[in-house]
A = this chain, B = another copy of it.
Amino acid sequence: MPRHAPVNALESPRFSGIRTFSRLPHTQDLDGVDVAVFGIPFDTATTYRTGARFGPGAVREMSAMLRTYNPSLEVNIYDHLSVIDYGDLPTVPGYIEDTYARVVAAMSPVLAAGVVPVGIGGDHSVTLAELRAVAAARGPVGFLQFDSHADTWDEYFGRKYNHGTPFRRAVEEGLIDTRRAIQVGMRGSLYGPEDLAQSRELGFELRTTDDVRRDGLAATLEEIRRRVGGGPVFLTFDVDFIDPSFAPGTGTPEVGGFSSREAQELMRGLVGIDFIGMDLVEVLPAHDPAGITALIGANVIFEFLSVLALGRRDRA
């Protein structure tokens, strides 16, 4: 029986208490734990608006609104999973590669304990560190990315590491099994036609927002399942996948995106995939006056936990 579950909001008001994700216990004791949610407060690798270092705090704040039961998927997460807030991983503001080293080291005990990591960014560069840690423990992984940008550029300003390049690096480092990798939602102006071509050359399947609009959500989900197959998969969700009206608080917003409803439908359609980790990145609270970006970010994680819980239930 799970040890860890949220404080009950019918008894203790949701605005009360130290802010942890979904009012879960904050601990680094991994014994009996299924999922560890943690922040990676880092925005040094950002090319436009900075501030995502405050993303974990904002997502935790709004996650107080999450309850425990998902009526669309008909599952109570905490019947099947023991989840904790593990705190924030160590970072070195101003230093990307130092930060990567610390994040990899900090994730190691989590992965060693067989716990599913759920990271809250931070800018998208942090996913490279997470993938290094995951691949070190599990080998190259299947990969699903919801994002308005492919993030497979080679360099910015003559440098290899920033939030526009992590997935090119990940492929180069052999962290992703590209035969089971898919990027979904790319849109917005580009530097040239080669921008998306290079993702495909790296081995990713890529479905633009135009593709998803043309084919529909159901067909897209089918294609995702087909691509990632039955093996372990890491999910990375950049909140700028969602339209700026629903998610204004992000560093590189792109108009013409998906609604929060569509994001929920896509997430709910992932039931059955064997996820071994995820992250939710690029929430930037300084441009999120009503907190709605952090709220949809928290909900994306809620849907992920629901999918995991169903997997646990069905395997039990």
Q: Are A14 and B302 in contact (CB under 8 A)?
A: no
Q: Are A69 and B10 in contact (CB under 8 A)?
A: no
Q: Are A54 and B245 in contact (CB under 8 A)?
A: no
Binding site of A, secondary structure by majority: helix, strand, loop or mixed? loop
Q: Are A244 and B159 in contact (CB under 8 A)?
A: no
Is A155 interfacial (CB 8 A cutoff)? Answer: yes
Within 8 A of B (CB), among A176-231: 186-193, 195-196, 208, 210, 213
Chain A count of residues within 8 A CB distance of the other chain: 100
Stretch of A92-100, A135-143, A274-282, A307-315 at the chain-chain interface: A92-100
Q: Are B71 and A208 in contact (CB under 8 A)?
A: yes
Q: Which residues of B contact A93 (CB under 8 A)?
A: 13, 46-47, 156-157, 162
Stretch of A113-121, A126-134, A167-175, A255-263 at the chain-chain interface: A255-263
Is A236 interfacial (CB 8 A cutoff)? Answer: no
Smallest distance from the beta carbon of A91 to chain B beta carbons, Å?
Answer: 6
Q: Are A68 and B192 in contact (CB under 8 A)?
A: yes
Interchain residue pairs with CB less than 8 A apart (7): A10-B156, A18-B26, A69-B195, A71-B190, A92-B157, A243-B261, A255-B299
Which A residues are closer than 8 A to B by beta carbons? 8-20, 26, 39, 41, 43-51, 53-54, 57, 60-61, 64-72, 74, 76, 85, 87-88, 90-96, 98, 153, 155-159, 161-162, 186-193, 195-196, 208, 210, 213, 243-246, 248-249, 252-257, 259-261, 264, 286-292, 295-296, 299, 302
